[in-house]
Every structure is written in structure tokens, then in C-alpha cells.
A and B are shown apart, each in its own frame.
Chain A
Amino acid sequence: MANVVKTMLAVGACKASRSALRIMHRGGTTTPGRLAMKIDSNILESVSRGMEIIVVTGTNGKTTTSNMIGHALSEAGRDVLANRSGANLLPGVTAEFTSSATATGRPRKHYAVIECDEGALKQVVPKIHPKVIVVTNLFRDQLDRYGEVMHTLEEIRKGIRLVPDAILCLNADDSLTASLALGVPNPVTWFGIDCPVGEQKNVEISDARYCIRCGTEYEYDYHTYAHLGGFRCPKCGYRRIRPAVAVTEIEKVSSSGSIIRMRFGTDGNADRAESADGAGAVAAASAETEQEVTIGLPAVYNIYNGAAAIAAYQAAGFDRSEVISSLADVHSSFGRMETFRLGEVPVQMILVKNPAGCNQALSYLSGLGEDYQAVFCLNDRTADGHDISWIWDADFEKVCGDPHMKHTFVLGDRADDMQLRLKYAGADEKDIEKADGNAELIEKLKQSSVPVFVLPNYTSMLSLRAALGAITGKQEFWKG
């Protein structure tokens, strides 16, 4: 009895503090959850009991992949719980589940898609017992928060060890992510891209060049981006596994989305190394189907996100065709690739927070073949990571050397560092302009005669999005 009372109190406190924070116009994603956990330490277990849950983690693409899965489930008529941007640590996840529960702490919804911070996975998954855990990829990110990428990998592994029944849905092309399948009892399913993407020469691999098992340098059959691709270790045999959900060809990529060909079959077997002539692959191929898929978001990394969403969707036991048809009109998620209109000027915002994601965004811009202005916003607050040195690892040269790039603005706590980076990337000093705050930037962008692309990091995205939203009438995120 006492437990039920505690649960009810926790639910009540969480809901009350959440509405109070909303009235005060604060995003308030952690306080209500902390409050609920303080009253009832088992609250998250209670309010998620019996639900079917998909958890998405990894460095890049968590939000977009979760949105793709959530969108498909809703389109198919299921009532889905999802956590919104920023609420991906234990208190935020707790608040989402708790405030959606009944007064007695029972879940109202049966399905949930939760994006989870890599470091918080080990706290979250033992409480919510997910059916599927998706790991999108691993790159260096926010070095001062996690130390290094190997440390992040270990954090995820700790989380997985706590839920041996959860199905792992892993990126086959990422040697770091793929290693999560080694030595765990969990069932595993894979997604990936079978074909080369972009430049194949002089690919600089900085995150995972050496075999995670034996230290030998990987050989690659092809590259997709950063350290992702057809990797194999010439010494110990650790290699990419042929995935059940794979992109076989990229037919068309434009600013409104991509058209790709995909094959669906069974996963290659890691223990029975496939022979060089592909005997294993031939056996699997008999059960394979191929299909054209449209993804309504531009850039190659969204192709990975789409493949991850499809693989997770079918691993959770849903009909693959539902997610495939909904991918064509998936909404761009909060700040990740969102378009605003300032009068006649289209302004597209692409969140960038590490070199791999930033390089993808920069390739997207330099590949447009049309004139544009670029805005780079750089803050160095806690949620961004205080260390902004990664800007020197991203190829701003691509955009600074692009004749279609007409002008660039810099903004944020570290605008001076950004402006210096652009100078060394080859931009002319007179083409670089520092804006003093969001309002001034917006006034200047209104004058633009060409489309504008804004590449902000996390907290600068929050403030600029709020300012743009106020003018263009888009809702602030916690109201959406």
C-alpha cells in the first residue's frame, strides 16, 4: 500500500512541477523527473511496466531515427510515447514516462520510442526493459564530457549487459558499434550501406583505424563516411557482417530527400566467416527482396537513420512496410534539419555537434550547386561540451572554397574562434561577418537574395530556433 501511495505522490509531483515550469516558459526537462525519483526511486519501473519499448542511442542520429520510428508507429494508428529533444538522460526519460502515466502510476500508452544518451543507457534500460536497443554509430563527441570514444563504447556496453534479452540493432558499417555484439548473449540484427558513398580516395579515418580486437589496421572494401564502410581486419578476421537491412544503391539525393534501393534478407553469420567468393551471401540471397525507398530528409546520414529505423521496426515485430511508407514524409526533427521562412528567404537549420556530423552537413552544402549563405553558430556551454577544438577537424574548407558560398555569418560565445577557423579554411576575410546576437542576425538574413543554411551547435540552436520561431510562428519545442 505504501508503495502505491509513493507512486501516486511521485506522479502527482512530476505532473505538477512540469506544468508549473511550462507556465514559466521554461523547457524544464529534468526537475520534474528528479522530483519524482526522489519521492519514489522505482517510479520509472512502475510507469513503464509492460510497455513495448525501442531505445535509440549512439553519437549521431538518435533524434532523427527515433522520430522516424515514432512517426511510423503513429501513422499506423498506435499511441506512442516519445521523449523530446534534450530529455535523454535518466531524469528526462523518467519525467516523460511519469507524466504520461495514470494517477496511480500505470502506463497509458503501450508503445514507446526513447532516445537515450550513451552515458545514461546503463541507468535507463534496466528500469524500462526495452525490447530493442538501436545503436546508430559512434564518433568523437563532446570530448570533455566523456573523455574518449572508447569510453563511450564501454558505457553503452555496460547498459547492454544489464538487459541480456533486448534485441540489439546495430550499424554493421561501424567497427566500433559492431563490436557491441561481441561476447553478449543478446540477439542481434544489423543495418548498413552495401555500396561506396562519395569520395573513395584519401579518406581520413580518425575514430577507429585499428582493429578493436587485435590492433591491426583495418582494410576497407569501400567507404561511406568517416570510419564507416566495408571494414575488415586482415589479421583476426573481425569484419563487417552482411546486414539484413541494407542500402544497395543511392539513386538520387537532393535537398528534399533521397531515393535509394534497399534489400531485405537475413543477417550474415559472424561465426561462420563468409568465404571470399560469397557462398554465405548466395545462400542468404535466395530469401532476399529488393525495393525502392524514399526518405524525405536530405543528406547521406539520414539514409543511415532510415535504415536503422527500418531494422529496429521489424526487429520489434512490426510490419516493415509501415515504416517504409512513412519514411517518405517524415518530418524533420527539431533543429536537426528544419526549414523556416524569413519573408521570401528559406532558412534551413542543421544541428552540428561533432566533426563527422558537421562534415556531412558541409558536403551537403557544397554539393547543392546553387548559391547560398552559410551561418555558423558556436557556443561552448555544458550541453555543447566546453571543448570546441573539433571545429579544426571538420572540413570547412569544402564550403569556404565553394564558389556558390556567397557570404558567411558567425555567431555565439565562440564566434571569434569560428571566424578564425573560416579564415584558415580559405575564406576571404571580407566574406566573414560577425553578428551580434540572434536579432541582428535575423535582420541581416532577411536581406538575403539566396537561400540560407544555418549550422549551429546545441545551445546556440536552442536560442536561435526560439528567436526564429517567434518570428515565423513555429512553436517552441516543449509545446510541440
Chain B
Amino acid sequence: MSELKICHLYPEVLNLYGDRGNIRCMQKRLEWRGIDVSIARVGLGDSEDLSRYDLFFIGGGQDFEQEVLLKDLKAGKGDAIRSAIEDGKTFLCICGGYQMLGHYYETYDGVKCEFLGAVDFYTKGGSTRMIDNYAFRLEESCGGSTVVGFENHSGRTYLGQGVKPLGTVLKGYGNNGEDGTEGVHYRNVFGSYSHGPVLPKNPEFCDFLLKTALERKYGGFDLEPLEDRFEKQAHDSVLAGVMDGTAGKDD
């Protein structure tokens, strides 16, 4: 019997924007295939051994609460996260959780917050927020499917030389609204601005993450296909609205 151990990092502080939906989606899609799944919530002050988990989820959060978080990262969890990344564990990191993996966040007023530096990129605060439904195509190395989601961020993220994005923006802003990239893909780390939540409407992306984690653990692994009628309907209707500019419009 195969099993996936999911670790939800900082659920008490990084929990904006329907992040619970991503966890629920992974859990259900494993259960429907008869794969055992356990979900652990590891938060501030917890000194868990992170090496026992297969897949990590980090969500988005409010600015006020991120200070509490930086303290906790420095107190040891930061090192544990970096080793799990280098060890090839799968990470899905959204918005604030994604930014946290980079070198730093420089606010619009020029205040620099040192982050994990686990992946080579940085983020700068902007004067306006980039908010809307959007769509991007995943890199072939991330499955190549089309993802629809909702972005809401003032931070502009710039990837370092040779660091691959998660995908290419089809419509919307993505990392910075300038270079057409969205998110980051480094080892088995997948970072994105798409909260949405991103996984339920994008089952191929969800399955790609699950497969990546299962293969890291068991070697070759086949996920049996699921009946994804509702998933596809929700994906296709939002994608159509995003591409023709009608999504979220008042009539």
C-alpha cells in the first residue's frame, strides 16, 4: 500500500485565499485512487523532523503575520526546508509562500526582508496590485498543461540567471507583469502566484505534483486517471472567460 505524507507548513499564518482547497484537492485525489494520505500541520514553534514528509505545501499570508514567521524560519525551520528541497522533496508554494523561498523581499519603501534564499530569485514590492483571473502554460518539465487561476500580489518577482519559471503567461501578469514568466520550478519545487486555489480546477497540475512526490519515494509510479468532468468544466469555463476578457466582468 503506497502512502504520501503531506506537510502543511505554517497553516496558522499562511492561509489566505482558499489555500485549504489545495490540500483538500491533493487529499481527495489520492484517496480516490486508494493511496493513503496523511496531512500534518507544522506551524510556528513546532520542531518537527521535516525529513519524514514527502510533499510540502506553503500558502499565502498577510504582511502583519510574516514577521512572526521570519523569526521562526531563522530559529531552525529555514535550514530544514532548504535540506528538504535539496533532497528532492516536492514543494507547492503559493504567493507569500513562494516569495519566501527567494533571497529577499524589498518593499516599495525600500525596506529589505531577508528570506530563505533556497531558490535564486528576489521580489520587489510595487505600488499597484496585480489582481485578476489569469492563465499560463506550464513548462514541458512541469507537465505542459494550461493552468487557470487568480492572482493578487503587489510583489514583482525576478528569477535569477538560469532559473526556470513554472510556466509562460497566456493572459495576466505572472511574476512581474514584464517578462511573461509565471512562478518558479527548481528541482521539485513549484512556486506560483496562482491562489485560486490552483489545484482543483487544474487536475493535471495536481496529478503532476502527486506523481512527482510518489516517484521520488517509490521510483516509477502510475496514477490511474480519474473522472474529471466537473474539474474540466470549471477549468474550461474560466479559461474561456480569461482568454476573451469576459471573466469577472459585470455582464
Residues of A within 8 A of B (CB): 140, 143-144, 147-150, 205-206, 209-210, 215, 217, 380-383, 386-393, 413, 416-417, 419-421, 423-424, 429, 459
Q: Decide: B247 and A416 in contact? CB cutoff 8 A.
A: no
Q: A143-B16, A215-B68 are in contact. Are A416 and B234 (CB under 8 A)?
A: yes
Q: Decide: A150 and B63 in contact? CB cutoff 8 A.
A: yes
Q: Decide: A389 and B18 in contact? CB cutoff 8 A.
A: yes
Whether B183 sits at the interface, judged by CB under 8 Å, is no
Q: List 22 A-B contacts (CB under 8 A).
A: A148-B62, A206-B15, A209-B13, A217-B12, A217-B44, A380-B248, A381-B248, A381-B250, A382-B250, A387-B17, A387-B152, A389-B196, A389-B197, A393-B20, A416-B234, A417-B238, A420-B200, A420-B201, A420-B231, A420-B234, A421-B21, A423-B230
Distance of B59 from chain A, by nearest CB (Å) = 11
Given A209-B65, A389-B197, 15 new contacts (CB under 8 A):
A209-B13, A210-B68, A215-B67, A217-B44, A381-B249, A387-B152, A392-B18, A413-B248, A416-B233, A416-B234, A417-B238, A419-B233, A420-B230, A420-B233, A421-B21
Q: In whole angstroms, how far apart are the Cα atoms of A388 and B129 in the complex?
A: 17
Cβ-neighbour of B25 out of A380, A381, A424 (below 8 A): A424
Instruction: Please give, as numbers and ranges, the residues of chain A lying within 8 Å of B24 by CB-CB distance.
Output: 392, 424
Instruction: Please give, as numbers and ranges, the residues of chain A lying within 8 Å of B28 by CB-CB distance.
Output: 424
Instruction: Please give, as numbers and ranges, the residues of chain A lying within 8 Å of B15 by CB-CB distance.
Output: 206
Q: In whole angstroms, how far apart are the Cα atoms of A388 and B230 in the complex?
A: 17
Q: In whole angstroms, how far apart are the Cα atoms of A205 and B234 in the complex?
A: 29
Instruction: Please give, as numbers and ranges, the residues of chain B lying within 8 Å of A387 by CB-CB distance.
Output: 17, 131, 150, 152
Q: In whole angstroms, how far apart are the Cα atoms of A215 and B238 in the complex?
A: 39
Q: In whole angstroms, how far apart are the Cα atoms of A459 and B131 in the complex?
A: 20
Whether B195 sits at the interface, judged by CB under 8 Å, is yes
Q: A209-B13, A389-B17 are in contact. Are A417 and B68 (CB under 8 A)?
A: no
Q: Decide: B201 and A149 in contact? CB cutoff 8 A.
A: no
**What 8 A-B pairs are tightest by C-beta distance, nearest first?**
A392-B21, A389-B18, A392-B18, A386-B248, A416-B234, A420-B234, A381-B250, A416-B233
Whether B106 sits at the interface, judged by CB under 8 Å, is no
Instruction: Please give, as numbers and ranges, the residues of chain B lying within 8 Å of A416 by CB-CB distance.
Output: 230, 233-234, 237-238
Q: Place the interface of chain B in its size category.
A: 35 or more
B 15-55 contacts with A by CB, 8 A: 15-21, 24-25, 28, 44
Q: Decide: B230 and A419 in contact? CB cutoff 8 A.
A: yes
Q: In whole angstroms, how far apart are the Cα atoms of A209 and B12 in the complex?
A: 8
Q: In whole angstroms, how far apart are the Cα atoms of A417 and B65 in the complex?
A: 29
Distance of B239 from chain A, by nearest CB (Å) = 11
Whether B64 sits at the interface, judged by CB under 8 Å, is yes
Q: Decide: B133 and A386 in contact? CB cutoff 8 A.
A: yes
**Per-residue A-contact encoding for B132-150, CB less than 8 Å = 1, 0 else:** 1100000000000000001
Q: In whole angstroms, how far apart are the Cα atoms of A206 and B62 in the complex?
A: 11
Instruction: Please give, as numbers and ranges, the residues of chain B lying within 8 Å of A389 by CB-CB distance.
Output: 17-18, 21, 150, 195-197
**Per-residue A-contact encoding for B221-251, CB less than 8 Å = 1, 0 else:** 0000000011101100110000000011111
Q: In whole angstroms, how far apart are the Cα atoms of A421 and B21 in the complex?
A: 9
Q: In whole angstroms, how far apart are the Cα atoms of A160 and B31 in the complex?
A: 51
Instruction: Please give, as numbers and ranges, the residues of chain B lying within 8 Å of A148 by CB-CB distance.
Output: 16, 62-63
Instruction: Please give, as numbers and ranges, the residues of chain B lying within 8 Å of A380 by CB-CB distance.
Output: 247-248
Q: Decide: B131 and A386 in contact? CB cutoff 8 A.
A: yes
Most chain A beta-carbon neighbours within 10 Å: one of B65, B67, B229, B248: B248
B 152-186 contacts with A by CB, 8 A: 152
Cβ-neighbour of A144 out of B12, B62, B152, B197 (below 8 A): B152
Instruction: Please give, as numbers and ranges, the residues of chain A lying within 8 Å of B195 by CB-CB distance.
Output: 389
Q: Decide: B64 and A392 in contact? CB cutoff 8 A.
A: no
Distance of B33 from chain A, by nearest CB (Å) = 15
Q: In whole angstroms, how far apart are the Cα atoms of A147 and B63 in the complex?
A: 11
Instruction: Please give, as numbers and ranges, the residues of chain A lying within 8 Å of B62 by CB-CB distance.
Output: 148-150
Instruction: Please give, as numbers and ranges, the residues of chain A lying within 8 Å of B237 by CB-CB distance.
Output: 416
